[in-house]
Structure 1
């Protein structure tokens, strides 16, 4: 499906938040997805993932997660210095601010005439996987895809300690988790903790595990795994189609 792309300006706590929106080109009404980047924000590898998702028939809205700290349009380079910058931005962002941004993007999607407001989901990668997991606390989020989410078992997300794991029982929709066995940032004990918590709280979920590294779906680096990426896409699209259409 062909897509159209645009940038939208939202104001959250008087901070300008750029939201990259990719949507199907044919007129109609589609499910909406709030889509979270990794610490490098909305560079080409992330917007290509958003575009790909839109092509399956979703209105995808991706916010700049560090808009309170970085000038609008900032893309952090995936280098040693960029990693320091992105991790520092993450550390300095209040958890309540992340949640407020999620709320703003969901409200934006619900206001769009091309979005089916009762068919909303979330998706994210790395820190964005953690944010997508938290987005699932919102009652209108019916389907969540969380790809190699970092920091959930230890509460590492932003300023202070995140209560994400403890709030897992607030998830009323369905959750799909995507992991790589070679991931040094989300190791087997963390995966086990998440799976155990989801089982105990009764959250409907699926877990996909590939022999792949962290950020294996990001197509600009040495950890990119095209075969694992395609396999994950097949599964996550089937999941989204089943849950929200």
Structure 2
């Protein structure tokens, strides 16, 4: 049987068992899920996301130092190339039903999910969780594409996230309202940046479960399942 498709955009720590587990969980709700290596310009998965203890602060600091230049290449121009390719790859899967699709993204992946919704009107659902730099003064800021979006949105922000402060949240909310799209945004109290990721020191089980519940409801309300 065919099922609606969902793109899962990873965080900066890359494709790894945690992302696979998240994709499997979303798939268990009745969807076909594709999680691309969005850092492909910098290498294959084994090169850009080697196994690491993401609960160790020193290790995390080293990983960030290595990957942030890679993340910096993922601007609007890159998204304009990548999103159509990711959508086409998802739709090419034999289990993927035609029609509307969803996207969900984490950390840097929330930026890409936001850009994707503005680039492809077939995206009917967009989730973004502990995203950073979603709405900045930069002319290339992801929120600037929301005027073209047709999706319903759910954003779950980390608490006291330097990359998504109150001003940025207000800017994002204003762009969503101006676009006239259905949306909910919230700060998850006490949740740190990265709260969904069970293999990191930032993991917050309660916040992660809330994210799954809100994402499942978003997909259920927007994507038709057979």
TM-score, with length taken from structure 2: 0.87
- 1:135-174 equivalence runs, <5 A: 135-137=116-118, 138-154=120-136, 162-174=140-152
**Alignment of 1:128 onto 2:128:** no
- Structure number having the greater helix percentage: 2
- Unaligned 5+ runs, structure 2: 55-59
Partner of 2:215: 236
Number of residue pairs the alignment of both structures matches: 214
Deviation, 1:37, is 0.5
**Alignment of 1:225 onto 2:207:** no
- Structure number having the greater strand percentage: 1
- Unaligned 5+ runs, structure 1: 1-27
Partner of 2:180: 202
Alignment deviations for residues 67-90 of structure 1 (CA, whole Å, 9 cap, x no partner): 111234331544111101111101
- 1:39-188 equivalence runs, <5 A: 39-74=12-47, 75-76=49-50, 77=52, 78=54, 79-137=60-118, 138-154=120-136, 162-188=140-166
Partner of 1:14: none
Runs of 4+ in 1 over 4 A off after TM superposition: none
Larger relative contact order (Cα-Cα within 8 Å, sequence gap ≥ 6) = 2
RMSD between superposed Cα atoms in Å: 1.8
Deviation, 1:63, is 0.8
Deviation, 1:225, is 0.6
Partner of 1:15: none
